[in-house]
Amino acid sequence: MEKRGIRNGVAMGLLVLVYACAKKPLPEVENNAPEFYIDATLNGERIQVGAGENNYYMYSSHYLDTNQVYVLKAELSQTYCKGNCGYGFSILINDKKTSAANDPISINQAIQTGPYIYNDDQLLPLFYHATVKPLRSESSMENYRWVINGQEINAYTASVLVENGRSFNPTLNFEDAAGICGTSHSNLYKVGNPLQTNIEVHKEGLPDVLMYSFESLNNGTTSLKYTWDFGDGSPLSESPRPFHSYKTQGFFTTKLTLTDSKGDTCVSFYQVPAFIDPRCEANFTTSFTPVKNTKGFSAITVLLTHPDGRVFSSQGLSQSSNNRFEITEVSDYELNSNNEATKKIKIRFNCTVKNASEEIKIENAEAIFAVSYK
């Protein structure tokens, strides 16, 4: 019995030793890094702030601006701060379309990974004012009737609002003062195309010779390829300023195709009245004046609130080619304090913001923010 007790005691001791030597699980390391933050350099000084630290809070909201464009707003700033505050950062992201007040936001189209443009002076215009004007001098005895996008306009000149990227196909119907001669002419333009032109034609030589000189009145672009079709079945010409003789009398529509070094192309037409006796014509020129883009679809505005309370903005400030904005990650997030759906976005950007005459450069910025939507 005594030996058995010793043996049992030794066994119990070994068990205690085994348990004592067993590795205990290490405590889990808590991740206290803020979920929303920004890490950026402001005029050479590195700034790091995060939600939940030093009274910083992530605000997410949205609103419909005066252009009927939804703006998604993400703001990282201190709560209830009065004086001696830290920097505040806001990102405004414009929707890609206009909306009525009760329309939902197509969030998966508005917020996507990829580069975004800044809401600055370099925004491409959405519309142009197109002005058409006859080459003939105005006479109160002559009739000028325009057909533009299905609309008739009885006037010497006409100006209409046209959308960038669309085709513009005006037609002029002309009748002379005596009511003897009438003709019409159409032209075709692509609105907003960097390459635009009008054609100028002059009769050359003796009155009974149907010879004409042709010239392109382009917008100053060089290194162009010219292709002239004189409308009478003759061979094409690639001369910048060709001469051409017609063998018979009549109206001939000359077509010029211009191509630049980037591959941009434009086409222009001219109605040549090839007659020995002077005849009426309906040729005209067209000019395009851009309308300032105030909607800024899918455009970004960065707001920086200085500790002294001044707000610096990127809006209306031309950004350099090195200043870019990119959303690198997008994910669904929880409802905000207003019970609105939100998206969490990770962004990288460089930009310049301005208040009065003072500018601040924001460089190497990385942030995770949240925006709400309806």
Statement to judge: residues 262 and 319 lie in one domain: no
Q: Find tokens 């707001």 and name the residue.
A: 303
Cβ neighbours for 94, distance < 8 A, ≥ 6 positions apart: 69, 70, 71, 72, 119, 295, 296, 297, 298, 299, 300, 301
Enclosing domain of residue 363: 37-123+294-373
pLDDT digits (tens, 9 = 90+) for 99-142: 999 899 999 999 999 999 999 888 999 999 999 999 989 988 89
More confident site: 1 or 227: 227
For 56-104, what is each residue's pLDDT tens digit? 999 999 999 999 999 999 999 998 777 778 999 999 999 999 999 989 9
Tens-digit pLDDT profile for residues 274-324:
999 877 889 999 999 999 999 999 999 999 999 999 999 999 899 998 999
Residue 20 counted as domain residue: no
- Whether 171 and 88 map to the same domain: the answer is no
* Single-letter amino acid code for the residue at 140: S
Inter-residue contact 132 to 283 (CB < 8 Å): no
Tell me: do 260 and 336 sit in the same domain.
no
Lowest mean pLDDT among 9-18, 148-157, 259-268, 310-319: 9-18
Residue where a domain stops, chosen among 267, 291, 315: 291
pTM of the model as a whole: 0.71
Choosing from 291, 326, 351, the residue where a domain stops is 291
